[in-house]
Amino acid sequence: MFTQIALFAVSLLVLLTASRLLLTLWLWPRVRAAGRPWAIFRWGLRIDLNQLAMWAGIPALLAPWLADQPLAVTLTGLWLQLVWLLFVLLEISTPQFIQEYDSRPNRLYLDYLKYPKEVFGMLWKGYKLVLAAALVVLLLAGWAGHALFAQAAVNTLPAWPWRIVLTVLIAAAIVLAIRGTLGHRPVNPASVAWCGDSLLNTLPLNSLYNVLFALYAIKNERSAADVYGDLPDDVLQAIVCEQAHIPPGPPELPTLHHQPASAQPARPRNLVLIVQESLGAQYVGNLGGAGLTPCLDALAATGWNFTRAYATGTRSVRGLEAVTAGFPPTLSDAALRLTDAQSHFFTLAQLLRKHGYRSRFIYGGEAHFDNMKSFFLGNGFDELHDLPSFDAPAFVGTWGASDEDMFNKLHTLLSQPGAQPTLHLAFSVTNHTPWEYPAGRIAVQGEPATVQNTVRYADWAIGQFFERARASDYWRDTVFLVVADHDARVGGAQRIPLRHFHIPALIVGAGVEPRRDERIISQIDLPTTLLSLIGVSDAHPMIGHDLTHPHSGGRAMMQYEDHYGYLRGERLVVLEPQQAAHHFRYTAPDTYEPVAADPELENIALAHALWPTWAYRHQAHTLPELRRAGLA
């Protein structure tokens, strides 16, 4: 057992150091810009020793007493081989994960394991070579692990007094390695953060540690107060209401307020929310992007085009909670995935049901993904139309039916006769790895399976839909929102890479005059604005601004990994776990100038980081009748 553990310790430290070195060399331009690369390896050794002690600690403690038992040697060998393969798997997964998410494997790595069909389908179709290489490395690692850790001879045990001494010394070493420091707090990701680049701050970690820490951090649904600091409830509610330009509501529903509609149409207007997968401003021509969206650009010229709209996060569920529920981002998971938000939680569908609307969710994939089916059907949506309901789709890829199929379904539903007004939420799937779309629709440039070509196809599908919509009877009575859920592959050297939170957002249709709006806005401002445009006056708990008022807008908020950003004008506040806030003067698209702290703005940022958790736990993001039903 002693030999097995010693070989495992040396092998693991070599593996993790070599992986960290290769990642550092791969990311060298960013590492060089950040400075102090030695910090990666100094702190990395502490993290690796932490993991070594966690996984080999029990066999090491038992070795002075059981190393002469063949069964103990065999079981130790099996355990160490399993742990070895787990470390290897996470490290070889890391480069591709960084490519996609600009981070080491984290909580998202675990989240995707819940959907093996979609995820492994995506990997098989888009990354065959990567999978083949990973399999070869795993097989070689398995062979090496078996050779190193399985074939060990039994040891002669030391004399009794020395066994006790050895056990105490091993226990002390394990405790010190797990703590990683003699200081008050044990080592954690905040301890090893050494620069302003969130990806580089994960390099001292190893990927298994990062995943396990993310799993640990899920406890208590990740209280923002434990991470960023706290505010008294009365101060918290006062700040949030003041910044939302609303009077304080009742104590149990402090943001409940009556919003009068700016428009007064002769008949209720239909509302269509089109959420585009991964369509960042970097691709959109009229927003200064790559010019891959001529149809969207033409559409923007005919409607209310928000040129500085910002996503609240980097996941689809985050964008969906903002657009459909007006719920701000939080350190915890998105509302769609939280247990106590599966019913009696506010959505536009809940409110519009009171006004006679019928609500439908249309999605080209399978709606169980990311818990969308449970959340939407449990919170006011009457119908769900996902892949199984599509008749003879033109193309089905890894993530579901193509965008044109989704828009065909949406057009069919909108064309159905009926006096009842409707809310439609339509969520696209095409612009996602492995970049699949039907042939013959666009002029492909270069390699077909690229994000650039899927953006071109998604834009083509938008153009085709709106061409039909304008010629349809429902056009004159319908307001349409087109907005991205988030950008593709968000990353960068900044604590909050704002250029990757910049997204297209535009409103067209009945009663909407063309205008180019350059105010900073958040996704949470869109549902409140839409209520005003369709003529619905009612009480709700959303804290987004009604952008039909000239003095609204001017601020955005976003969650990025463990960082929370609050942008007001040109000032950006970034909150980080157990650290002082960072203050910047931000100039789009990518200039950050550190500035002196603004305590008032910092408190505003903190209040908005804390409020969603408070509202969720107190069932305060809801309507009075829904809250009563939920408490009954």
pLDDT (tens digit per residue) in 16-69 = 999 999 999 999 999 999 888 998 999 999 999 999 999 999 999 999 999 889
Tokens of 6: 């010693």
Q: Give the position of tokens 């074939």.
A: 151
Q: By the 8 A CB rule, do 566 and 586 touch? A: no
pLDDT of residue 184: 63
Measure the CA–CA gap between 139 and 84, rounded to whole angstroms. 12
Q: For residue 281, which of 552, 526, 557, 483 has the smallest C-alpha distance?
A: 483
Tokens of 451: 């994000």
Q: Convert the pLDDT of each residue in 436-467 to its tens digit.
A: 999 999 999 999 999 999 999 999 999 999 99
Task: Give 414-455 as a DSSP string.
Answer: HHS--SS-EEEEEE--SSSTTT---TTSS---SSSSSHHHHH
Residue type, 528: T
Query: Does 190 have pLDDT greater than 80?
Result: no
Sheet strands side by side (includes 555-560):
555-560, 563-568, 571-575, 582-587, 591-594
Q: Give the mean pLDDT of 308-322.
A: 97
Q: By the 8 A CB rule, do 324 and 388 touch? A: no
Q: What secondary structure letter does DSSP report for 524?
A: T
Query: Does 150 have pLDDT greater than 80?
Result: yes
Which H or E element spans position 356? Answer: none
Q: Convert the pLDDT of each residue in 254-286 to its tens digit.
A: 999 999 999 999 989 999 999 999 999 999 999
Give the CA distances from residue 544 to residues 333, 500, 548, in Å, rounded to whole numbers and listed in that order. Answer: 20, 21, 12
Q: Convert the pLDDT of each residue in 352-377 to its tens digit.
A: 999 999 999 999 999 988 889 999 99
Measure the CA–CA gap between 193 and 203, rounded to whole angstroms. 9
Cis ω for the linkage preceding 254 (within 30 of 0): no
Ramachandran angles phi, psi of 507, nearest 5°: -120, 130
pLDDT of residue 222: 67
Half-sphere exposure of 396 (CA within 13 A, CB side): 15
Query: Does 290 have pLDDT greater than 60?
Result: yes
pLDDT of residue 90: 97
CA dihedral 394, 456, 282, 433 (to 10 degrees): 40
Residue 581's SS3 state is coil
pLDDT grade for 248, boundaries at 50, 70 and 90: very high
Query: Does 584 have pLDDT greater than 60?
Result: yes
Give 502's strand partners: 310
pLDDT grade for 220, boundaries at 50, 70 and 90: very low
Give 573's strand partners: 566, 583
Measure the CA–CA gap between 78 and 142, rounded to whole angstroms. 11
Tokens of 219: 């406890």
Mean of the per-residue pLDDT values for the chain?
Answer: 93
Give the CA distances from residue 366 to residues 322, 390, 435, in Å, rounded to whole numbers and listed in that order. Answer: 21, 11, 18
**Mutual orientation of helices 2-26 and 38-66 as an angle, nearest 10°?**
170
Task: Give 85-153 as a DSSP string.
Answer: HHHHHHHHHHHHHHHHHSSSS-HHHHHHTT-HHHHHHHHHHH-HHHHHHHHHHHHHHHHHHIIIIIS--
Ramachandran angles phi, psi of 559, nearest 5°: -110, 130
Cis ω for the linkage preceding 260 (within 30 of 0): no
- pTM as predicted: 0.86
Which alpha helices (H) appear in 218-369, and where do they start and end?
A: 224-228, 233-244, 294-300, 316-325, 348-353
Measure the CA–CA gap between 461 and 470, rounded to whole angstroms. 14
Q: Give the mean pLDDT of 79-92.
A: 97
Give the CA distances from residue 297 to residues 305, 377, 481, in Å, rounded to whole numbers and listed in that order. Answer: 9, 33, 14
Measure the CA–CA gap between 335 and 348, rounded to whole angstroms. 14
